[in-house]
Structure 1
Amino acid sequence: MTATSQPLTRARPAVPPATLAQAVLWTIVVVNLLVLWTLFAMSDGGKNTILTIAKFFGMHVALIMMFQLLLISRLPWLDRRIGMDRLTVWHRWTGFTLLWFVVAHATFIVLGYATLDGDPPWRTFFALASVPDTLFGMSAATIIVVVAVASVRYARRKISYETWHAIHFLLYAALLLGLIHQFLEPATYQSTTWSTVYWWTLWALVLTALAMGRFVLPLYRNMYHQFRVAAVVPESDNVVSVHVTGRNMDKFPGHAGQFMIWRFLGHNRWWQANPFSLSAAPNGRTLRLTAKAVGKTSAGLRHVPVGTRVFAEGPYGAFTAMHRNSDATLLIAGGVGITPIRSLLEECGGNIVVLYRAATPADAVLWQELQALAQARGARLHLLTGRTGAGNPPNTPFEPPNLLHLVPDIVHRDVFVCGPPAMTNAVLQTLRALRVPKRQIHHEKFGFA
């Protein structure tokens, strides 16, 4: 799409896409909880009250694990309506919920059998570890505890993403061990033929969703499109754009504002991947990413040879025009956060205002393109420069009075915000102070968990 091409227009659904997706997701959770509780109420209890409680927690461990897998399955329908960042946050907190249910289940199991046999808990623990089906469950629980500890914020800051990811990958082993444990251990969901069919069908659906979203779909898209580098264009001393082409690019299902996880084969190791936004709306011929040199992988992009094969996962993200509620839009960008904003400007129609925050005019990446697009779209474009807080009066463009002065009708606009965390948080705080409706505020963290 060029600066003179026409923006896309879409009919607005009666129910906001995010609201619909969340309603579907939570309906699935509630329905399966009700089924689980019904099965538990109709089944025989454990050998004593403590073991009955352990059984209750154990059933919920499995259901929570299913929900956690669904959240990170990267199903396009969910991802484009809720966004990977929110789904990942829900996955994180679901993981800590899973941890406490696992601990409770294991604790009540040990206490229940210790009471039943009249032995101390430590002796019962080692006795249970000698039973194969229980050993599988203990091994799965141990892995879950290790991964949860590595995911605590303090620990997460002390290790690299690659190390954390390798530890997190152990959850697939925990999943396999947990499934074996469920298969060998008689439980409520195996009390009748119907409950057994229900339970394993549920597991089959969840595992199919995970396999499709995380493995099958990315492999299929890369085989179908066969991405490769078409051009590498330096935008400044520390910013570069990479143009990627391939086969059947007119069938690529991406939209402006989305991001992809990129691997340039031969440029870095397989596990060194980066999420970069599309800095131009997909045009049926090429995709473009624009990256700032903030790490070894992104800094080396300007040296990637033309013709390099690319393995790209995505597109991901809900930071798209699909979520607009009106024809009036405010696009706010800071630094290299201009990349998805620039692509949205290219795709959106209607009354548009763009605010671009940069330290100096020289730091305004893609500025000439923005000017051309703004002129073609009839959009108002403001470059906000200078150090925040400097001068008299202080330079604070995103304080409520200043933002309202720049965009007097801001409460009637959809607002898309992308930039450094400090800037994004300041803008969101101001939007709340100005009483911009929550449904009109759109922001997304582009990155890994």
Structure 2
Amino acid sequence: MSSNLEWKARKDKATPRGVGVMANFYAARAENAEIWDVEGKRYIDFAAGIAVLNTGHCHPKIIAAIIDQLQHFTHTCYQVVPYGSYVALAEKINCLMPGIHAKKTTFFSTGAEAVENAIKIARAATGRPGVIAFSGAFHGRTMMGMALTGKVDPYKLHYGPFPGEIYHVPFPNALHGVSVDDALDAIQVLFKASIDPKRVAAIIIEPIQGEGGFVVAPQALMRALRAICDLHGILLIADEIQTGFARTGKLFAMEHYDVQADLTTMAKSLAGGLPLSGVCGRAEIMDAPSPGGLGGTYAGNPLAIASALAVLEVIAEENLCERANTLGQRLATRLQLVQKDVPQIAEIRGLGGMLAVEFRHADTGKPNPEFAKKVQAHALAQGLLLLTCGVYGNVIRFLFPITISDAVMSEALDILDAALRA
């Protein structure tokens, strides 16, 4: 059996440095919220493959569904020879997505593909080129994804020029002094100085920014965006790639708001670890592209579709939306207790099981990414995986599998408590 150091030496020789790797160990097996490395050391997973494993590692029901499909066929390319499971999953998503309007859904492989295709659909439906996104947003590493993303380092550094007709406005963040009015005023400035609203196809927004630091979009912002879109014939796209599938205490984060999106992108926990993404939207909008305009060789892979159907059953049967709220409250309560003794904690925020803590220098109030990295490193040394995020890298986000046991959750909270205090 090779050691972690041996694998790292081989990795450094065989793979490029542009693929950043956080952990200093190599996985051998995993179950629910636990991972064991090639040397047998155990870790508690509070990263979940960056929000991919809301239903945990190797859930028996999901594994069984994949094996069953594996025994029938692995690939036909849906556009060549279709299969009923793709249609069945689309029907389920259409029923579960917020809004009483008629909906249609199409599937792809990655979150970036979902975003790219949502923009294609919006442009086809409106005949307009412009797209408005937000600072701090993350929408993928493809060229369009990077253009929409509102964080330069490391995602956009050295990779331009990017596609045109993409505009950014500030995302409201009270801690950083950005209000809803600031964001809305910036949109009006865009309309006056940069692009006629009649040339804007869509506004794309994460209900809770992921890489941006788990900043929750205020209700007032969503209502105002919906009103702006309705006034000017613009489509509202909700990027639910990280927020979807019970993470926020609702199946979709937009259920926390009293307005609906026209298009919704999804991926990550949709298929419990297999690559699958999708776009769901109003039927008439989804039908705008001509036949052949959407798709992909691996889009809607049958193994991933089978897994996704099982994921939806697990979420419903195990009440994972309610579970996310319960676990999130446990985490928030513990963080609030620690905050009394750790002045670097500037804010604890999020919805349901999608929580984060932001750090600032206690004396200056400026972002403190060094403290976040120290907490992350201390936790990792004690067997707890944590991810950082935020425009300044000064936020730790918590993405435990929602299926995590109470005992393992308690163990993780003790490690986190000690790491914050250390």
Q: Give 1 or 2: higher helix fraction.
A: 1
Normalised TM-score (structure 1): 0.24
The structure whose Rg is larger is 1
Larger RCO (CA within 8 A; separation ≥ 6): 2
Normalised TM-score (structure 2): 0.25
